[in-house]
Amino acid sequence: MRHADAFSVTDDTLIRTLSGFTHAYATVNKVKLHYVQGGTGAPLVLLPGWPETWWAYHHIMPRLAERFTVIAVDLRGMGSSDKPTDGYEKKNMALDVANLIEQLGYERAAVAGHDIGALVAYSLAANHPDRVSKLVLLDTPHPDQSMYKLPMLPMAPLDTPGYTYPWWVAFNQVPGLPEQVLVGQMGRVLDWVFDALLLDPAAISEHDRAVYRAAYDSEAGIRGGCGWYRAFPQDIADAATYARIDVPTLGLAGAGSHDMMAQALKQQATDFRMEKVNDSGHFLLAEQPEQALEAMLDFLN
């Protein structure tokens, strides 16, 4: 295994591997967001989740760019975007994205989100439906009151095939602790999460892991990622006030999340369909990018 320093993981270097893409910054809602853009056609905004960056979409961005103007965003607290001490409520992060869509000159855009990005995408459709033409939610529903029932202890042995104990959901919410103890060690956490949530750990390569280590293995990077989790109580309270969204929605999930997402979308959306991504864990954009891509293209077109 090569050390992360052996890889070049800057945005400039990564973008050179994606023909036709450039990157830039925009200041919106008092935060500077980094985004990567390429292609032509109607706008399609891609929102990643923890513990990744815009690079999570790199397998499918070139194909999407054949039909859309693709805009892959580092969310507030992520990658090369600002990492403020507050503002991580998904309702507020949705405002970041709504303002970005407007600043880039579009009235509305199709929006896809994975993990934390799916929470922001759903919040965008709930609070700014005029900005969203279609919505794709990948493997994660927006949190609701059921999150308070997550067990403190694992419900099965941790080596049980297909079972994951999401301990980080609670740990990331502890004020101040993760950023004190994980600097210099965050790569160990990322490797554990990737290995636990992938059916094939090799689907996220050592180079990819180096990209994400560089993004998160600092006090600010850890604090930004934890900020998304520390806002969950407010996110749950906000979601309780939302009406069911009317934006056409596609839910994409692996076998482990499919039923949970379907149940959530029955409560959260009026116009949705669910599709299962076979032979994939949580990180389906890495593990089964072709399946995810084809489902997205079929829905968006």
153: pLDDT strictly greater than 60: yes
| 4-300 classified as CATH 1.25.40.10 | no
Specify the pLDDT at position 159. 84
Among 7-11, 177-181, 271-275, the minimum mean pLDDT is found in 7-11
38: pLDDT strictly greater than 70: yes
When pLDDT is cut at 50, 70 and 90, the band that residue 3 belongs to is very low
Q: How many residues does the chain have?
A: 301
When pLDDT is cut at 50, 70 and 90, the band that residue 161 belongs to is confident
Q: How far is CA 38 from CA 16, 64, 197, 219, in A?
A: 12, 9, 30, 31
261: pLDDT strictly greater than 80: yes
Contacts of 130 (CB under 8 A, 6+ apart): 107, 108
As a whole number, the mean pLDDT across the chain is 95
Inter-residue contact 79 to 215 (CB < 8 Å): yes
Inter-residue contact 88 to 62 (CB < 8 Å): no
Specify the pLDDT at position 4. 46
pLDDT tens sequence across 96-109: 999 999 999 999 99
pLDDT tens sequence across 188-224: 999 999 999 999 999 999 999 999 999 999 999 999 9
Residue extents of the structural domains in the chain? 4-300
Single-letter amino acid, residue 269: A
Model pTM? 0.96
Q: How far is CA 160 from CA 120, 145, 191, in A?
A: 31, 27, 18
When pLDDT is cut at 50, 70 and 90, the band that residue 53 belongs to is very high
When pLDDT is cut at 50, 70 and 90, the band that residue 164 belongs to is confident
5: pLDDT strictly greater than 70: no
128: pLDDT strictly greater than 70: yes
Specify the pLDDT at position 2. 42
Specify the pLDDT at position 70. 98
Specify the pLDDT at position 6. 57
C-alpha atoms less than 13 angstroms from C-alpha of 203 in its C-beta half-sphere: 23
pLDDT tens sequence across 59-95: 999 999 999 999 999 999 999 999 999 999 999 999 9
- Region 22-37: what's the mean pLDDT? 98
Helix-strand-coil split of the chain, %, nearest 5: 45, 20, 40
Contacts of 281 (CB under 8 A, 6+ apart): 197, 198, 199, 254, 256, 287
DSSP H or E segment with residue 154: none
Angstrom distance (rounded) from CA 62 to CA 39:
8
Order of all β-strands in the sheet with 109-114: 22-28, 31-38, 68-74, 42-47, 109-114, 132-138, 249-253, 272-276
